[in-house]
Amino acid sequence: MEIKDKSFKELETLSQEIRDRIIDVVSRKGGHFSSTLGAVELTLGMHYVFNAYSDPFIFDVSHQCYPHKLLTGRWEEFETIRQFGGLSGFTKPKESPADYFVAGHSSTSISLAVGAAKAIALKKEDRVPVVMIGDGSMTAGMVYEALNELGDIKLPVVIILNDNEMSIAKPIGAISKYLSKLLAGKYYQGFKTKVDKFIKKNMPEGTTYIAKRMEEALKLITPGILFEEMGIDYIGPIDGHDIAEIIDTLQIAKAMGKPVIVHARTVKGKGYKIAEGQHEHWHGVGPFNIEDGIFEKKIVPKSATAVFSDALLDLACKYENIVGVTAAMPSGTGINKLIERFPDRFWDVAIAEQHAITSMAAMAKEGFKPYITIYSTFLQRGFDQIIHDVCLMNLPVIFAMDRAGTVGNDGETHQGAFDISYLRFIPNMILFAPRDNKTLELGLEFAYTLTSPCAIRYPRGFFKELSFESTQFQLGKAELLKEGSSNKLFIGYGAGVSRAIETELLHQEDISILDLRFVKPIDEDCLIELSKRYTQWYIFSDSQKQAGVASTILEVLNENKIHNIEVISFEYEDSFIQHGDTKQVEESLGLLPHQLILKIK
């Protein structure tokens, strides 16, 4: 959509049309909501001043990219947002050349912009990377690593800091506001450049020092001191909903030809009064009624997250040395209850997975029992810390991995497919998984007794109810749930146990079912014994096939020179899993019980 010839009034009308489209579709289909509504005018400003098809447009996390999608030829297709086979909820270059990079995890944007700026400079092209990053993403260390280099190399990059929750540094009253506006003005920027040149050419050293000190004194009472000290020019704060001010400021920033941060204040949920200023509750939503903001009510069983939250709270009341941490996902992981009850023992450290892990390693060394509650996909961000700071010291840190397996609409960047594969080869790590709510409760208490690091995985949503009696965990011990008369053995791990049971019910043969329970240490004695009775083994686990559960079992069979067993894995194949309704995604992977039974037959 071409907008460069539109008046400010026309752009304001367009911003309302974009909001109406987002509200209409998300109210019916669900999706990211408050952040993307708050970024409408900033996105229009980006498209007005820059060219999305040549200048790299880089959205951090990219959950706020819906206006960008609507402006780049996806207005009608927007109806399919986050649906199976439809548009992704994040930027995705396969969808449009206007989407520069895949995103979904936080705080990668400025590093991408630095790399793009270097490439543009080497190719001698007239392009400028443009970043939109939320203030929440500024809590991750990777942002400051990128800013540190950018301030040194001074290549042109425009960073829009979308401040919708907090200020990076709190401004001081009316004087600060006036000075910030002054700093944003084109007259000041032009004056500053001319004065700098004049001073360098004509003024003695002492006068230069005084002029510099005066400029620094002005900046000390503005929010930009942090960035200016890193060598990056700062403009703002500006009104992130004032089209004219946004465009004027971005034009100035573009013309400066160096790294610039434009600090824009916005309101989350802007344009939908019920969501305005509400943060986590309206961040990502399911279908809701536009008139009153009431969400569609679905009667669903208690989620695994809720079971975890209640069970850990009970344990924390029982054992005073239990502590815990999450990385910007308190309600998503259920640890919010514990933060409220024990604010001196449970923390949200913001988007800082590496810090979360290492800080808990120190607490473990001091005799505490840390539960690190984190999504499987986000634990990847702290991989080196797991090895270097936890496992190398053999510290009893517990990794509670929520959202293991397919997660549905968030898609490739959020699927919890890889945790078994990337944790299994680390020395001292114990890996186990519950099959239902009760064994999740038992598993959390079992984890407390361990003297080594461990990781426990459980799915998004809820476990299926199983009729088998729940027994206590024993380190490295599997549990044979059902002994059948055929030569087939179904081996389930975690939520895969219920899938094995459902598949067995569809089969005409009487099939044995094993709950593996532990991938590491694996129950070698049990597997060796079962190899004497069953020759066809089928593996059920919501995880990647490479270095996964079946691989572990095959290693055991090979080491024990057992070669008469046929092992068939129903784990994920070697590809990223697309977004969509979980059942549709699993059907596309051929993993529903009625599909699996056909493969077995």
Question: Annotated binding site for thiamine diphosphate: which residue ranges?
Answer: 63, 104-106, 136-137, 164, 272, 353
Distance separating alpha carbons of residues 69 and 47, to the nearest angstrom: 11
Task: Label residue 236 exposed, middle or buried (CB < 10 Å: 0-12, 13-18, 19+).
Answer: buried
Q: Measured on CA atoms in the order 551, 553, 554, 555, is the torsion positive or negative?
A: positive
The answer to whether 494 and 457 are in contact (CB under 8 A) is yes
Annotation: binding site for Mg(2+): 135, 164
Q: In what order do the strands lie in the sheet with 512-515?
A: 479-482, 512-515, 488-492, 536-540, 566-569
Distance separating alpha carbons of residues 504 and 596, to the nearest angstrom: 10
Rg of the chain over all Cα atoms, to the nearest angstrom: 27
Alpha helix ranges (H) inside 133-242: 141-153, 173-184, 186-202, 205-220, 225-229
For 373, the enclosing helix (H) or strand (E) is strand 369-375
The CA-based dihedral angle spanning residues 96, 98, 100, 105, taken in that order and rounded to the nearest 10 degrees: -70
Annotation: binding site: 63, 104-106, 135-137, 164, 272, 353
Residues near 168 by Cβ (< 8 Å), separated by ≥ 6? 135, 138, 161, 223, 226, 263
Alpha helix ranges (H) inside 239-396: 243-256, 304-318, 330-333, 336-341, 353-365, 376-379, 383-385
Per DSSP, the chain holds a count of helices (H) and strands (E) of: 24, 19
Residues near 91 by Cβ (< 8 Å), separated by ≥ 6? 59, 62, 65, 68, 99, 100, 101, 102, 103
Distance separating alpha carbons of residues 442 and 458, to the nearest angstrom: 13
Position 113, amino acid:
A
CB atoms within 10 A of CB 574: 7
The answer to whether 246 and 240 are in contact (CB under 8 A) is yes
Active centre residues (catalytic)? 268, 353, 381
CB atoms within 10 A of CB 378: 24
For 588, the enclosing helix (H) or strand (E) is helix 582-588
Query: Distances in Å between the alpha carbon of 363 and those of 333, 367, 381, 445?
Result: 21, 7, 20, 19
CB atoms within 10 A of CB 572: 23
In DSSP terms, which residues pair with 264 in a beta bridge? 162, 238
